[in-house]
Amino acid sequence: MLANANILSENPRYMDSGSTKHLTYNMDDYGASISYDGSAQVATANGEADDFTTTVNVIADYDQHKKALLEYIEEVTTNAEEIQKRVLSEILSRNEHVEYLQRKGLHGHTDSETFKKMLPVITYEDLKPDIDRTSSGVRKRIPMTEEDAERRYFFRSLVMPIVDQYIPGLDKGKVMYIMISVPQDKTPGGIGLSYSSTDFYKTSYFKDGFNNNPYNNYTCPIEAIHCEDSNQSMYSQVLCGLYQNDQVLRLGAPFGSGIVSIVRFIQGNWTSLCNDIRNGRIDNKKITDLLVRKAVSKLLSIKPNQKLANLIETECKRDETWKGIISRLWPNAKYIESVVTGTMSQYIPYIEFYSNRLPIVCARYACSEVYCGINLNPLCQPDQVSYTLIPTMAYFEFLPIISDQHDQQELVDLTAVKLGNEYELVVTTYTGFYRYRVGDVLRVAGFKNNAPQFNFMRRNNTLLSIDTEKTDEVELQNAVNVAAIHLKKFLSASLVDYTSFADHHTTSSTPPGHYVLYFELQWDKNNFSILQTTVMEECCLLIEESLGAEYRECRVDKKLIGPLKIVETGTFDKLMAYAAREGSSVNQYNTPRCVKLAPIVQLLNSSVVSNYFSPNPHKLPRYRSLTYFRSQNAQRLLMGHDVSDIAFISNKLSSAADKNFFDLLFF
């Protein structure tokens, strides 16, 4: 090890990865060097003035600033291949003396050929011993540098010029965007440790720029965001947002689950919130943090607003379903900003229900390790979202996803990916990750100039597995979606949230392992239907039929499915509270789609109110799913019948199309 060399990169600090998706940007020779005298340099060519260079005044002329940022996106996507080469060269030259690169034998080489030859493709576990040497960490930690704060700040500034092209006038009002911080810590070696979101909120870039940008005029004071008590932070931010409800032009939270959490928080606290607005002062029991109380009180004391409090109270009492509550409480809101791709897509129906179908904008794609891309078509449907990777963010490579090949595939460069193909993202970052497998699977949806645009598909992992079958999160999500539609149609029940557990326990009465699903439902319990048990059992079977052929074959032979467990209202709030007690960031929290830790399984099981099992499973041929049948009658007739009953079912089908299709499959 060299005398003054760091292990992975120069001058790191660390953050917990949590489950976040964030953005960051390098603003050295290939980005924008922002200073707070109001100027910024945007360049892409080693500090030399050429066709890529643009100078803007950030504060004095924001219109010019927006134009320059849009030109920047155009320029870097056009010259993607050349910029990628320069980014790799800069990363390697900047970190040439770090121990990791020396150990791999790179010896100062900065060309891509030597880099790919000498450095292996790695995962976090490969780097963990090196990271632990500097952070003495237990939780997964990602190295960061001061430069990253500047990089993130610039990259976030790319979003609003794009959105402004589709939704003008957003600079005339305010934004209510929920941001929750968690306590920061230090490693035994004195290196700072925090979650990526908290880390960003505490930087000078965020604080100095807070409410100085006409497109980021927040409803709450910064003290509310910095408050490390999540309940007080949420209360104060929602209170400020409601108090200024007519000025709010957009609402947001990092993930779709956060938008739903805002509604549920108001459901549990609207009486106190109305009282505070009506009286112009804060309930001291709700906010005990003195700095937060002082900052929020200053806002409320401007004018107690009894009329607004009465309006909020009326809206909260109007309808038990709370349909359209977001658009009723914030009548001037034009859209909602949140990530609803991947497994977050399950929250889309709830957000649309609560907002009267306000547009949902998925603005950015990122991971804890590096910030990656931007949605250039913000008003597209959530299932059509694609992110344009910005070539200056990191050096990007792509591992082809080929289902029938298990050997390591040769990596593909950013500009060499093929339309329609799926790849796992591999990054080399300024902060010390070299050929690092992020674990996200992306599908090439198109190109912006020479830079690819990707749909986020899933995490590249096996979520559930008991025997030889492997079920990933997308497959499980799709199966749950089918069950949710069934519940809505026959019981008027909505799926609030869900998770799963691969129970490997074996007893004399239990087959060797099974899947367990936990559902929390929202429904009118007084409207009990005699069909409840039947419909719930049908949901179990629908889930099974929606999983892969390999699973279904194992299911018949080895009975791998366990009960569908319905848990009481509030169970998943308890799950989030448990995660927060264990140090997770509420702001970055995603409901885990599979749980493994014993305390979490115990928490879920303690909240179970009913269990249901799949009736009489049968092994359908590959792709012979119930959902192929056109009529609900056909699907319901299949429920609970063994393959030996197929002649009986065929005769019962009333639709000629269903009968012909059924006969084609089975006879």
Residues 116-138, mean pLDDT to the nearest whole number: 70
Rg (CA), the chain: 27
At a CB cut-off of 8 Å and minimum separation 6, what does 356 contact?
Answer: 323, 324, 326, 327
The phi and psi torsions of 41 (rounded to 5 degrees) equal: -110, 130
pLDDT tens digits for 368-403?
Answer: 788 899 999 999 999 899 999 999 989 999 999 876
Tokens 């069934």, located at residue? 486
Give the Cα separation of 315 and 329 in Å (integer): 7
pTM of the model: 0.72
Residue 301 has pLDDT above 60, yes or no: yes
Which pLDDT score is estimated for 609?
Answer: 83
Which pLDDT score is estimated for 73?
Answer: 94
More confident call, 654 vs 493:
493
Q: Among the residues of 290-379, which ranges form H helices?
A: 290-300, 306-318, 325-329, 348-355
The band of 104, judged by pLDDT with boundaries at 50, 70 and 90, is: confident
The band of 144, judged by pLDDT with boundaries at 50, 70 and 90, is: low
> Could you tell me which of 374, 449, 386, 438 has the C-alpha nearest to residue 81?
449
pLDDT tens digits for 609-651?
Answer: 888 877 655 544 333 333 333 334 444 444 433 333 444 444 5
More confident call, 667 vs 415:
415
Residue 195 has pLDDT above 70, yes or no: no
